[in-house]
Each structure stands twice: as structure tokens, then as C-alpha cells.
Amino acid sequence: MVPYQLGNLSSLRTLSIGGDPSDLQVDNLQWLAGLSNLEHLDMSGVNLSLASNWLEVINTIPSLVEIYLSYCQLHLISHHLGRDTLVFHANFSSLTVLDLSGNFLGYPRWIFGLTTLASLDLSLTLFEGPLPRGPWNLTSLQHLDLSTNHLNGSLPNELVHLNNLISLNLWENDFDGFLEGIWNWSSLTSLDLSDNNFATFLPSQLSTLTALISLDLTNNQFRGSIPSSIANISNLQYLDLSNNTLSSSLPSEVFTLKDLIRLDATDNHLNGPIPSTVGNCTKLKYLLLNSNALSGSIPSNLGRYTKLEYLRLNDNALSGSIPSNLGRCTELKELLLNDNALSGSIPSSLGKLSSLELLDASRNKLTGTLPESLWQLPKLEELRIHDNLMEGIVSDSHFDNLTALRHFNPCFQTRTGPAGWTG
């Protein structure tokens, strides 16, 4: 239990108790009203399931600037309130940060009138249905998180017109419709619309969000082509378009984004070659283009990616040889080339990939023998080369330096293998 004597500390400005996880419980918060100068309140994780007066009490402290009440089991007290929270009159004239995530409060309509609020987290609150219409007076709001709820319908004008937003997270809801008016978010640096039901074309107006650093549109039904104007978002570092129905070719302009760290276009219907401009994004750590219909050869200038950690080109229609320049990507942890039509031999330069943990070149048309250099990779855990046209014999001595190997699936004869190894 939290001692109620804390309420005697009338000059206290910051109160932080609880944490994640917490075994603390409070049955009544009336003592909190004694902290008349309190500015920062953090009771995240404290069990407030019996504190039916929580909202009335904190409403008596107008000095509050930040409130963190995440995962306080507030959803268990909604039936105790005895009033309509939709018409509750808030007195939070100084409040800039409000975190009520991980609770179930119904629709706290009073929140939408907090003109000083800069950050609002209502994620995991089991909100459902469309967002409320009518006046939103969140004129100072910069950070809004409504993720992991059951919200649906189109994005209301009230949301679109929050033109001071810096980050917006709508992940894992059921929103649909069009992305009209998004150019109002000119200050936005992070936009997450992933795991919704958007089934429209990617609007060219995305290019007007020039402050964006992170754009996540994964797991929707976006269709059509990737607009080449996306290159106008010159600060973009994280671009995730995976698990949609995007078609046409991968625009070469994407690879003019000099600061790009992650590009994920997995599981779409992209076709045509990988653009030759692909070598321009030298800061890339993740290049994930698997499960599309990309054709042509693997560009040799991928070897310029000295920071690349994950390269997934599997499940496409790529042909030609594996570029020897990939051996320059010395930070690579995963190299997935399986399920293509690659031919020729595996280059010995891949033996320079000292950080490599997974190499999958299975189900191609590769020939020749496995390079001796691959047997020197100390971190390699999985090596898959089955369903090719390769030949050779592997014996115990080949595994002497592969101390991390747990799975080896060859396409030719083997003689035993290391302990713990599976084929």
C-alpha cells in the first residue's frame, strides 16, 4: 500500500512511485489532494482498481504539468464513477503530458478540450468505433498515440487539422478510407499507420511531409505504385511499406534518400529490376525486398553498404550470379537469396562476412562447390544451400571453425557433422 501520509508534503512538486511491474496498490487517492503544488505525477503500474475517486482528486490539482497513469487498472473502476465522463469538466489548465495507456476508460471526451496538452498517450485502452467528431481543442498537441485499439472509420478532419503534430501513432486499429488532408502535418517526424485497413493508393501528398524521419504503412492494403515523389522526404530514415498490394517497379528515386537506414517493401507485388541507384543509400542497415516479383540481376553496387546488417532478396525472380562485392558488407548478419533463379557459384568473398549468422541460398540454380572460406565464419548459425546444382563432399574437418552452426542443409553428400547440428 502507498502511505496516505504522503499527502502532508504540500510543497512536493514531483511524485514518482510504482513502475513496471509494480505490486503497489492504492484504495483511495484523497490524500493526493493535499499536494497542492504537485507538477509531475507518475503512478504507472500502481493498482488503482479501488480508487474510484482518481479523476476527481487529480482534477483538484491545477498545477499538474505531467500525469502518468499507465497500466493502473483504471478500467476496473468505470462502473464506480456514477457520472458521465463524457461531460466531465477538466481543470487541468497547465497539463502538457497525459499518459493513460493500458487502461479502459470509455471515451474520455474531456481530454479533447485540453488546450495546453502537448503529449497524449491513449494506446491499449480498448477504444472502439470511430473517433469522436465535434470540436477538438488540442491546439498544442505534438505527440498522439492511439495505437492498439479498435478504432475504425476514416481519419476525421479534427485529427487531420492538428497541424502541430510531430508524431502520430495509429498502429493496430481498423482505420480505412483515404489519406486526405495529410499535408497539414508539415511538422510530422514520425507517422505510423501500420496494421489498419487502408486500401487506397499511396497519395503523392506524402511528399509534402518533408520533416518525416519514420514512415510505417505496413500491413494495410495500399495499392498501386510507390510515388517517386517520396524522394522529397529528404530526412527519411525508416520506410516500411511491407505487407500491402503495391505493384509496378521500385522507383529509383527511393535510393536517393541519403539518410535511409531501413527500407522494407516485403510481401507486395513489386516487379522489374532492382534500380541501379540502390548503391546510393550507404547508411542502410536493413534492405528487405523479399516476397515480390523482382527480376533481373542483383546490382553489384550493393557492396557499398558497409553498414548493412540484413539483406533479404528471397522469394523473387532474380537471375544472374551472386555479386562478389557482397563480401564487402562486413556487418551482414542475414543474407537471404533463396527461392530465385540465381546461377553460377557462391563467391568465396562471402567468407569475409565475419558477422554472418544466416545464409540461405537454397532453391536456386547455383553450381560448383561450397567455397572453403565459408567454413571460417565463426558466427554462422544456419547455412541453407539445398535444391541447387552444387556438388562436393563435406567432412568433420569442415565444421571445426563453425562453432555456432546449428543448421546445415546441403544439396550434396555429407559425412557426419558437429554436435547439436541438424540437417
pLDDT tens digits, one per residue of 119-141: 999 999 988 999 988 889 999 99
- The H-assigned helical ranges of 59-173 are 157-160
What lies within 8 Å, CB to CB, of 305 at 6+ separation is 279, 281, 282, 284, 287, 311, 329
* Mean pLDDT score, 347-369: 96
Range in 146-160, 312-326, 387-401, 403-417 the model is least confident about: 403-417
C-alpha cell at 155: 481519419
pLDDT over 80 at 33, yes or no: yes
pLDDT over 60 at 319, yes or no: yes
Report the alpha-carbon distance of residue 34 to residue 58 in Å, rounded: 10
* List of domains in the chain: 1-126 (3.80.10.10)
Check: CB of residue 336 under 8 Å from CB of residue 356: no
The residue ranking higher by pLDDT, 80 or 53, is: 53
* Mean pLDDT score, 164-186: 93
pLDDT over 50 at 415, yes or no: no
Q: pLDDT tens, 221-235?
A: 999 999 999 999 999
Task: Of 93, 104, 42, give the one whose Cα is nearest residue 67.
Answer: 42
DSSP class of residue 354 equals T
pLDDT over 60 at 210, yes or no: yes
SS3 384: strand
The owner of cell 537469396 is 337
